[in-house]
Amino acid sequence: MKFVELLKNAKHVVVYTGAGVSTSAGIPDYRGPEGIWTKLDKGEKIGASPFLDEAHPSFGHFALLALLKAKYIHHIVSTNVDGLHLRSGVPLENISEIHGNIYKEVCEVCSKAYYRPFDILGRVKKRYTGRLCEMTGCNGKLKDSIINFGEYLSEIELGRATKESKNADLTIVLGTSLRVTSASHLPGYSYKRGHPLIIVNLQKTPMDKDASLRIYGNVDYLLRLVTELLELEIPSYDKSVDMIQGQDITAVNVKIRNISSNVIESEIQNLLTLHGLVCTQYFLGEELNDKYCYITFNTPEEANKAVSTLDGLELKQKKIQVKLSLGKVDYEFEKKFSLTGLAMDDDQPPPKSMLNEILSFNMKSLRNTAKDPS
């Protein structure tokens, strides 16, 4: 098989992945037969699809991990924001996510990145997450890492992708039409110097004429053939080793979302008491028409218990969603919050420092943006 022959003869292989790699995980692509842009061009309605954080890595993701571990490939450059490569086990140093990651938030001051076990923006599209950088002396505001239309790519991610692309002596393109200009030039650093280029995609790409091997086919099917020929064992998904969603809980703040608008503080207290949960303080607030409650526990273990116990429970006939609020919470970003329910211990007032943070907030406008569909 020519694909395997090229793979074995190369010393530094860089793989570029797009939406076609994640379709088997239930995430629609954009230009495939059932793709979003394809349907829109035909005037067809786009059906409901799972949220990105509900998907799990598929065979293709684990096949690439196996190829990486066996040193047949050396780096992955992805335009996907679903985080499935990392969740399959690909180390951070072996991937460049040039369009961002839904689980990643970045400090706007020092660029420190934090990976959370949940979609850091939830179902609400905004830029700032309400948490602060935890680097000593920084306290910069954390924002999402998603690159939207018209925005510059991350210098860190693009720099790493460019370096790896220039070192490649074999380039493999999987499941992308190479039409997004922010990434389409990267394979050229290798194949324009005479190195082979492999393209596996169901649709035509602008680089088809330059390909040493062009395969019009399903990515998972091709990777299954390749890994079988190389006699590689492919693991299946196991959340306990998921480096993103399987992270241990280390924070003490828990955020309950999707609360009915008529819920009052005593009902939150009753819910906690019913399940044997004891907290130090909490407050109710509202953010972009979503009522929520922040609760602070004494230890990460108690917070962990709260997350596993409360998530999905009904409160006034509405299923609540419990997301862990990791790190330092900056109340400056809360909108229309209420001071009800701040104190939990014998009706004592909340800490003065906390009240100062809340009462001296400076409202920031949160841009409602759409994720880059690359």
Q: How far is CA 24 from CA 20, 119, 158, 221, in A?
A: 8, 20, 27, 10
Q: Which of 99, 185, 195, 275 is catalytic?
A: 99
Q: How far is CA 371 from CA 52, 134, 257, in A?
A: 11, 26, 22
Residue 54 pLDDT greater than 70, yes or no: yes
2-100+153-241 carries CATH number 3.40.50.1220: yes
253-359 carries CATH number 3.40.50.720: no
d(CA 171, CA 165): 8
* Domain 2-100+153-241 identical in fold to domain 103-145: no
Instruction: Please name the amino acid found at residue 263.
Output: V
Residue 43 binned pLDDT confidence (cut-offs 50, 70, 90): low
Residue ranges of domains in the chain: 2-100+153-241, 103-145, 253-359
Q: Sign of torsion, CA 137 141 147 152?
A: negative
Q: What is the pLDDT of residue 120?
A: 84
Once rounded to an integer, what is the mean pLDDT over residues 323-332? 65
Higher pLDDT, 242 or 326: 242
103-145 carries CATH number 2.20.28.200: yes
- Provide the H-helix boundaries in the chain: 2-9, 36-41, 59-69, 84-88, 155-167, 181-184, 188-191, 219-229, 265-274, 300-310, 352-359
Active site residue 75: no
- At 67-103, the pLDDT tens digits run 999 999 999 999 999 999 999 999 999 999 999 999 9
Most confident of 160-164, 242-246, 285-289: 160-164
Do 123 and 102 form a contact (C-beta atoms < 8 A)?
no
Residue 357 binned pLDDT confidence (cut-offs 50, 70, 90): very low
Higher pLDDT, 278 or 31: 278
- Global pTM? 0.75
Residue 342 pLDDT greater than 60, yes or no: no
Q: What is the pLDDT of residue 38?
A: 44
- Provide the H-helix boundaries in 185-264: 188-191, 219-229
Mean pLDDT of the chain: 81
Do 223 and 175 form a contact (C-beta atoms < 8 A)?
no
Once rounded to an integer, what is the mean pLDDT over residues 326-340? 49
